Amino acid sequence: MPKLSALAVFLTLAVCAPTAQAEEQDSASTIAFKSISPVLNALINADDAQDLMERAEEDDATLLQSLALYLAATREDPTLAQAPYHAAALFARRGDDALAERYLRQADERGMWFAPALADNDDFEHLRGTPFFKQVLANTQARYAKVSVGKVGAISVLAPSKGVAMPACAPVLVWLHGYGINGHLDSSEQPLADAGVVLLGINGTEMRESFDSFSWTGPYEGTHKVVQAGLEQLAARQCIDRKQVYLMGFSQGSQHAGALLAQHPDDYAGALLVSPGGWRQPVPTQSSAHGKRVFVINGEQEGPANQKMSADFRALFSDGNELRSRTHEGGHFYPDDWKTSFPQAIRWLMGKGG
């Protein structure tokens, strides 16, 4: 069984110990054990610092437990910038600016590069105007500019199986991923390509905190440019039918797919919008799309904001387009039958029934 450093355990105990005086009627040892037990379990069973990070981000972890685990991960792996960054954010949230700066400086010294995440983090709101934070952000932005090259907008291609008949110049389905993941395609998406399209996955416009985590941010026009650049790369490899470029997205990717069809109908032939969601940009209120096929799918158990966005897109494309709509019993994820229902929807987009 993996064992983390004794120093990490001591640090964890030191952070969590103050909660032992929370209630006088309970014994200090009982209170301390209840608070420390999840952290001790993580320290005993975690494989490495990254595992500690994942446990710190679990939904049921308290702020102090998460902070203890981030600090432990900081000590355990002296190269990991994410651990002191998250510790700094929690210290800033608690109002301890001195410790927030200490650990943010440590993240900077370790080569912190994820500038979009740092810039967006509301925990540092009251520190944004300080010379210290401005300098750390500038350092991080400079690293991000180098690290993100070749990753933002990178493409992944999945062709139909050999038995699927295809025209000389293939239709393309552009896949826009959800927040925090990426455009990499593997064999699990083969049913989509086998609907009769070349599947084109594209990494989002911003990297988050890891090399395989992206989001679609900024104006929709930025997403359009990235998608068009991806299509140019694909066209350099094989003949594609630019009149049959369809969009498919999930969550934040679905929001951007719908916006691209509304704003650039000459470049996209239709869209499959699955569980639209996002908070950075509003859904367009006007659409230039006419005569397009649009299929909107969402779960009945999705949150109110996602329900509203699905309804907004249905309303946006209801006039002058052919709209299909479906809800499933689940939440913010694919329906159970997606391996058959999504290919049917894609074929319908292309006018092949379904």
For 122-156, the pLDDT digits (tens) are 999 999 999 999 999 999 999 999 999 999 999 99
Q: What's the pLDDT score for residue 26?
A: 59
Counting every residue, how long is the chain?
A: 354
pTM here is: 0.86
pLDDT band at 45 (very low <50, low <70, confident <90, very high): confident
Residues facing 240 on adjacent strands: 170
Give the pLDDT mean for 304-315. Answer: 97
Write out pLDDT tens, residues 212-267: 999 998 899 999 999 999 999 999 999 999 999 999 999 999 999 999 999 999 99
pLDDT band at 354 (very low <50, low <70, confident <90, very high): low
Q: What's the pLDDT score for residue 5?
A: 54
Helix 97-109 × helix 131-147 angle, to 10°? 30
Lowest mean pLDDT among 21-30, 119-128, 340-349: 21-30
Residue 38 has pLDDT above 80, yes or no: no
Cβ atoms 159, 198 nearer than 8 A = yes
Residue 280 has pLDDT above 90, yes or no: no
Average pLDDT over the chain, rounded to whole? 91
Q: Which two tokens stand for residue 91?
A: 């210290």
Give the pLDDT mean for 167-177. Answer: 98
Per-residue H/E/C for the chain? CCCCCHHHHHHHHHHHHHHHHCCCCCCHHHHHHHHHHHHHHHHHHCCCHHHHHHHHCCCCCCHHHHHHHHHHHHHHCCCCCHHHHHHHHHHHHCCCHHHHHHHHHHHHHCCCCCHHHHHHCHHHHHHCCCHHHHHHHHHHHHHHHHHCCCCCCCEEEECCCCCCCCCCCEEEEEEECCCCECCCCCHHHHHHHCCCCEEEEECCCEECCCCCCEECCCCHHHHHHHHHHHHHHHHHHCCEEEEEEEEEEECHHHHHHHHHHHHCCCCCCEEEEECCCCCCCCCCCCCCCCCCEEEEEEECCCCHHHHHHHHHHHHHCCCCCEEEEEEECCCCCCCCCHHHHHHHHHHHHCCCCC
Q: What's the pLDDT score for residue 28?
A: 66
Q: What's the pLDDT score for residue 10?
A: 46
